Amino acid sequence: MSNESLFNDNWLKLQRDYWEGLTDMGRKAMGLEDSRAQSNPWQAAMDQWWRTVSPAAPEPARDFMQRLLDQGKSYFGMVEQMTRGLQGADASKGGWDLLSKTFDDMQKAFSGQLSGGDEAVRKMMGFWEMPLDNWQRMMSSLSPMMPGDWLRNMPHDAVKGNFDRMLSAPGLGYSREEQAQYQDLTRRVLDYQGAFQEYMSFFSQLGFKSVQRMRDFVQARANDGQTIDSARTLYDSWVACCEDVYAEEVATPEYARIHGRLVNAQMALKKRMSVMVDENLGALNMPTRSELRTLQDRLQETRRENKQLRHDLDVIKRRLAALPAPAPARTTVSAQAPAPAPAEARKKVAARKKTAAKSSD
């Protein structure tokens, strides 16, 4: 077939590029990029040990130990990152150059400039992702339909413009309302994604600053003639630098804005989803969340009144009980009010009937 035909090489290449692009986007969206894990011997041994013993452990102990193991990996991963090539180094043997390059690489990683899958840097980033990881775990627990890392790596700015145009098109016809709802849902997804990526970007900047703080700290130790001679001291120093920078940055109005935007965007998305779920439940003639809440409100109002009435009744009972006992009633006939005569009673009934007839006119 000649290259001039309908299915020429360019067309096939376009198709291939399209599918590769789509696959790549999917991988990014799932957070699978650069997931080529490599373990050092210590980690491999720990993993092997854990695979052997963990099935015997009950669930709570297993989760807890997994956490200790993960933090251990993070701990020694950080030490590995900062000390590689430094053993036996000193100022004259280019130790400072090596250390400086390590800090440079870490800062590049935080600013997204470090290419390739450097395992040690990846672990270091993993340590810095703890606040993000907390958010993702919390998100996952609240929304089983939305895993915490959902949309995390999906390109945002590149697609938002086109989506915005598409979403601005008005719905048409019989399903107009439904179209509008899906458009709104998509808008909220994009808002959440934008907020989440801004949150991640803030943390990348924090990471960058933390490396600088660590660099300054190490320099200060050198100036004071002190050395860091254990992995634990190095790790604790790194945690202290990170925590100091974090405390400074999250106290700013800028962080309060980013934090608020993230939470609000998540809530807005979840609310839209709830409304749509409710509508589907309603269509199936099932009780909806909104109906349940109305009932809960009414029930609580009734219970509140009920408790107040019971309380008031108890007070009245107590007051009555505290009253002095009444003097025994005198039972002589002359003390009692005379009973109305039958004729007088009949007159009163007639009067009531007349009044009722007037008011109903």
Site for other proteins in 262-321 (CB under 8 A): 263-264, 267-268, 270-271, 274, 289, 292-293, 296-297, 299-301, 304, 307, 311
Q: Cβ–Cβ contacts within 10 Å for residue 45, how many?
A: 11
Q: Quick one: which segment of 10-18, 21-29, 91-99, 177-185 binds other proteins (CB under 8 A)?
A: 91-99
User: Which of 25, 86, 167, 185 contacts other proteins by CB under 8 A?
Assistant: 86
CA distance 110 to 129: 11
| Min CB(157)–other proteins separation in Å | 23
Which residue number, 12 or 142, has a Cβ lying nearer to other proteins? 142
Cβ burial of 238 (10 Å; 0-12, 13-18, 19+) is buried
User: Do residues 184 and 250 make contact, with C-beta atoms less than 8 angstroms apart?
Assistant: no
Residues 164-223 that bind other proteins (CB under 8 A): 218-219, 221-222
CA distance 99 to 83: 8
Buried b vs exposed e over 168-188: b needs ≥16 C-beta within 10 Å? eeeeeeeeeeeeebebebebb
Which residue number, 134 or 355, has a Cβ lying nearer to other proteins? 134
User: Do residues 148 and 243 make contact, with C-beta atoms less than 8 angstroms apart?
Assistant: no
Residues 135-154 that bind other proteins (CB under 8 A): 135, 137-138, 141-142
User: Which of 38, 111, 134, 355 contacts other proteins by CB under 8 A?
Assistant: 134
Residues 228-247 that bind other proteins (CB under 8 A): 228-232, 234-236, 239, 242-243, 246-247
User: Which of 12, 32, 44, 61 contacts other proteins by CB under 8 A?
Assistant: 61
Alpha-carbon torsion angle 150, 154, 160, 161, nearest 10: -170
Tokens 């109903």 belong to which residue?
360
Residues 7-46 that bind other proteins (CB under 8 A): 42, 45-46
Residue type, 54: S
Which residue number, 9 or 97, has a Cβ lying nearer to other proteins? 97
| Min CB(178)–other proteins separation in Å | 21
Which residue number, 33 or 243, has a Cβ lying nearer to other proteins? 243
Q: Quick one: which segment of 109-117, 192-200, 251-259, 331-339 binds other proteins (CB under 8 A)?
A: 251-259
Is residue 91 near other proteins by the rule CB under 8 A? Answer: yes
Q: Does the CA dihedral 258-264-266-268 come out positive or negative?
A: negative
Which residue number, 267 or 345, has a Cβ lying nearer to other proteins? 267
Which residue number, 95 or 147, has a Cβ lying nearer to other proteins? 95
CA distance 241 to 236: 9
| Min CB(16)–other proteins separation in Å | 43
DSSP 244: H
CA distance 196 to 153: 10
Q: Which residues contact 62 (CB under 8 A, 6 or more apart)?
A: 54
